[in-house]
Amino acid sequence: MLRAFQRSTIITYAVLVGVTVAAWLAMLRVPMGERDMTGMEMTMTPTLADGLTFIAAWAIMMAAMMLPSAMPMIGLYAAMQRDAPTATARAAEVSAFTAVYVVLWAISGVPIYFASVALMAVAASTLAYTTAGVLIAAGIFQLSPLKSVCLRHCRSPLGFILGHWRAGWRGGVTMGFAHALYCLGCCWALMIVLVVAGAMGLPWVLLIACVVAAEKILPRGEWVARTTGVVLALLGVAVAIEPGLAAALRGASM
């Protein structure tokens, strides 16, 4: 029985690594910042086709960015499926947990899409001050109690699972949804920075993915979050003082 649990955990990690590698390869092949959907060449009027294309690309990007830091949680959840009667049942429960997590992050691309379209109508000077405001707001959020609460749940897989345990695949859906909410609460500000300041360019994707992983996995991840907050706030002040920096940030990411 123990070997079966160990095998299922290894398979879970192997699948997650495979999906993550595939997502990163897709990102590296055609970075989202180079697509028409980034707001560089999108029409001013959102269309269903544009929106669906954007959300599909956003889902791939979120899988590449978020699955590495979610692996400890998903792997521990897979290892604790002792009540599952069969290997198929265990796979269904872990798949439900993971799928809900990824789907919720994909859905977050809907408001991001409309925000990207709206940025097209903003004058360069206004965009610069918008970028400054987003950076400062994100920096303040990184230092907030809400950030600390959400990050604490993300950094403690065992505590989360013991506090939210539900059996069966429906339990996997419920727990995956709860974990995704904490993850969204922890990282939403960084994603707004990615869109507004970084124009969803590959350098910003790599940077923020590393920050997210460091916050959730490294021993002093809370200090990573706070340091990031200070850096973002100072960068926002710098952009407010010298608006030309906003164009430099977005241009460097393309």
What is the four-CA torsion angle of 244, 250, 253, 254, rounded to 10 degrees?
A: -110
Residue 44 is predicted with a pLDDT of 56
C-alpha distances (whole Å) from 110 to each of 17, 62, 114 are: 26, 13, 7
Mean per-residue pLDDT, 59-87? 87
Residue 35 is predicted with a pLDDT of 47
User: What SS3 class is residue 31?
Assistant: coil
Model confidence at 119, pLDDT cuts 50, 70, 90, reads confident
Domain count, the chain: 1
Residue 3 is predicted with a pLDDT of 53
Assess whether pLDDT exceeds 90 at residue 241.
yes
User: What SS3 class is residue 30?
Assistant: coil
Residue 55 is predicted with a pLDDT of 92
DSSP 84-153: -SSHHHHHHHHHHHHHHHHHHHHHTHHHHHHHHHHHHTS-HHHHHHHHHHHHHHHHHHHTSHHHHHHHHH
User: What SS3 class is residue 254?
Assistant: coil
Q: Please give the residue range of the domain that contains residue 109.
A: 2-253
pTM here is: 0.87
Mean per-residue pLDDT, 235-251? 90
- Six-digit token string for 230: 């200070």
Element at 169 (helix H, strand E): helix 168-196
CB atoms within 10 A of CB 140: 15
Element at 163 (helix H, strand E): helix 157-164
Mean per-residue pLDDT, 53-66? 92
Pick the range with the lowest mean pLDDT from 84-88, 119-123, 131-135, 159-163: 84-88
Residue 106 or residue 45, greater confidence: 106
Residue 81 is predicted with a pLDDT of 79
Assess whether pLDDT exceeds 70 at residue 40.
no
Note the Cα 76 to chain centre separation in Å. 20
Assess whether pLDDT exceeds 80 at residue 67.
yes
End-to-end CA distance of the chain: 51
Residue 252 is predicted with a pLDDT of 57
Segment 176-232, tens digit of pLDDT: 999 999 999 999 999 999 999 888 888 899 999 999 999 999 998 999 999 999 999
Residue 177 exposed, middle or buried by CB count within 10 Å (0-12, 13-18, 19+): middle
Instruction: Return the ∠ at Cα 80 (arms to 215 and 172), rounded to 5°.
Output: 75
Assess whether pLDDT exceeds 80 at residue 30.
no
Residue 31 is predicted with a pLDDT of 65
Residue 108 or residue 9, greater confidence: 108
Assess whether pLDDT exceeds 90 at residue 108.
yes
Residue 36 is predicted with a pLDDT of 43
d(CA 181, CA 184): 5
Residue 37 is predicted with a pLDDT of 41
Assess whether pLDDT exceeds 90 at residue 249.
no
d(CA 122, CA 167): 49
Element at 29 (helix H, strand E): helix 2-29
Residue 41 is predicted with a pLDDT of 46
Residue 101 is predicted with a pLDDT of 95
